[in-house]
Structure 1
């Protein structure tokens, strides 16, 4: 079904075919305005509703029925994809919307093996929490999903709805890898390529979980700013830890917390000693190697060796394994 047909099916009812000889130019009868306003009056809400309806229709066409479930009978996914925050105005708006108009978009769950009427969620955690808060059953589509299919559905739904921030995607990627999922599955879940996935995981590994949790999702901070924060962590980690320990820090919105942490990280530091350069086959300075205490940092000039840093990052695990093998043979 096209987007146009989906919208028409949501907001218009087709009239009966005209009797023989009658005019066929009569316009379809529109649904009353109250039904439309219940789905949201803004253009963004209508667009989101149309996309959700299209997804729902695809699932229903595949034979997936919508049922109502007690929220207490739904367990969380084994791999989290969100950073919990204490103050979430968007969640309060969702609770209000569901309370007034009902739950428009079902969540996706799978049956829990060996437990009758128990389910595990693939996506829709905020809708599940909202239903629990309101004390009502949650509308859900039940599908038999493998572990790989569950995390792929989980990732794609959040990407489609543009809910996850950069750091949440990075943490999701790292958690999937630590849980033992194959790279192919993680790539599908995040709809990304190998180079970007390596960056996600590298940044998530570099940043201490306590600092990320304190800062929160910071939806306006993209990859470059999180990367800048990660690059300073060895020198500024203690300063940022002192910052997040201040009671006033956690009262700020997440994006303001990130800005303060980045400002602290960007304060002047001691100049690195022992700097040297690596030159490529043409004799060009392609990377700077800096050693500070027990930390060694290699900074590649991507104007000279474009994409080489991403290539090397992807090979680090294999290179380290080769290094360990050589060490054992000595």
Structure 2
């Protein structure tokens, strides 16, 4: 005798899947379900640190999508805040703009059409009745200058949650330059955000985060600010600049001298960057190429002197090496005395 297939309820078959009340009757009527063909099972990834990190980022993304759905549906509940009570995020993600034209256009659109998308803020952790921006800095600035209230969603966030949420928002913005993303990654790392969360928030991989670290560790923060957003300058040239500064810290002083010139400060940030990089690269080439032939009056050469930016090397021919070594050792004290005397005379 063949047995009839077991009768299973939708609820028992699909467990936690939520269905519309109109689709599932209160008495959970049963249905005949044909046996499903057996499929090869795929081993599940164990819930560990990676799973926890993914859940954290997934939760924040879901929260962002939920808030966006609220805005799109026009559901009430948005707060209208005095712009004067809203402070910047403690983790800035923007470098100074080259000019005010773009912001003026943005402010004009707010004045004419109103604020269509709310900002997100959190209660200020140290100042009652004040707030800090999660994202929407330009909207807050525009409202402050126009003297109008700011439409805002208020969320309770820790510093870590704030920078991760801010990073997720940044990942979807196309106008952030590469160095701005690198600076924000540094902000997140400084706040104790784990590397995997930084990668997830900015949609970057581990090699890219390593390149960002190499830049922000070699190029001083105030120098990055002095150069500016440099929107047309990508990762390769920032990495090149970082390598030049890391190889010789003296070049940091040189770069500051270049940036302090009035005519350089007046240029756009892309041009400022190119002037600094070009000057340091040219100086590097000139010092590497300076060789001096060590030749006697009769023209016979005994070797070469190679002058680097911070070192001098003597390359003596093998035939003259032993004699030159003894001679140089004997003459060196007198040569140093002459050098010191010349410094005093100056």
- Which of 74, 80, 86 is matched with 2:92 structurally? 80
RMSD: 3.0
Aligned residues: 226
Instruction: Describe the shift of the 1:163–1:155 C-alpha distance in structure 2 as closer, same or farther (beyond 3 A).
Output: farther
Q: Return 5+ residue gaps in structure 1 as ranges.
A: 1-51, 274-290, 295-330
Post-superposition offset of 1:118: 2.3
Structure-1 separation of matches of 2:126 and 2:225: 34
- Tell me how far 1:167 sits from its aligned partner: 0.7
2:162 equivalent to 1:159: no
Q: Does 1:239 align with 2:254?
A: yes
* Contact 1:64/1:141, CA 8 A, preserved across alignment: no
- 2:222 alignment counterpart: 210
Q: TM-score, normalised by structure 1?
A: 0.61
Match of 1:99 in 2: 111
> 1:184/1:58 Cα in 2 relative to 1: closer, same or farther (>3 Å)?
farther
What's the counterpart of residue 249 of structure 1?
Answer: 264
CA contact (8 A) 2:86 2:132 kept: yes
- What is the CA distance between 1:230 and its match in structure 2? 1.1
Q: C-alpha deviations, 1:133-177, integer Å up to 9, x for none?
A: 111111111122232221112112122122321111111111222
Q: Which residue of 1 aligns with 2:27?
A: none
In 1, Cα distance between the equivalents of 2:266 and 2:65? 37
CA contact (8 A) 2:83 2:149 kept: yes
> CA offset at residue 58 of structure 1?
5.1
Aligned mates of 1:74, 1:257 — CA distance in 2: 33
Q: Give the structure 2 partner of residue 21 of structure 1.
A: none
Determine which of 145, 163, 176 is the counterpart of 2:157: 145
CA drift at 1:86: 6.2
Matches within 5 A, 1:40-51: none
Shift in alpha-carbon separation, 1:64–1:157, aligned structure 2, 3 A:
farther
TM-score where L is the length of structure 2: 0.59
Distance 2:160 2:76 in 1: 19
State the Cα deviation string for residues 282-315 of structure 1 (Å, max 9, x = none): xxxxxxxxx9869xxxxxxxxxxxxxxxxxxxxx
Equivalent position of 2:191 in the other structure: 179
Task: Give the C-alpha shift of residue 124 in structure 1.
Answer: 0.7
Contact 1:236 1:264 in 2 (8 A): no
Task: Tell me the distance in 2 between the aligned counterparts of 1:59 and 1:198.
Answer: 37
Q: Which residue of 2 aligns with 1:271?
A: 288
Structure 1 residue aligned with 2:144:
132
Q: Which residue of 2 aligns with 1:170?
A: 182
C-alpha separation in 1, matches of 2:166 and 2:288: 44
SS in 2 for 1:120: strand
Q: Which runs of 5+ in 2 are unaligned?
A: 1-63, 291-307, 312-346
SS of 1:242's equivalent in the other structure is helix
Between 164-173 and 82-91, the greater mean CA deviation after superposition: 82-91
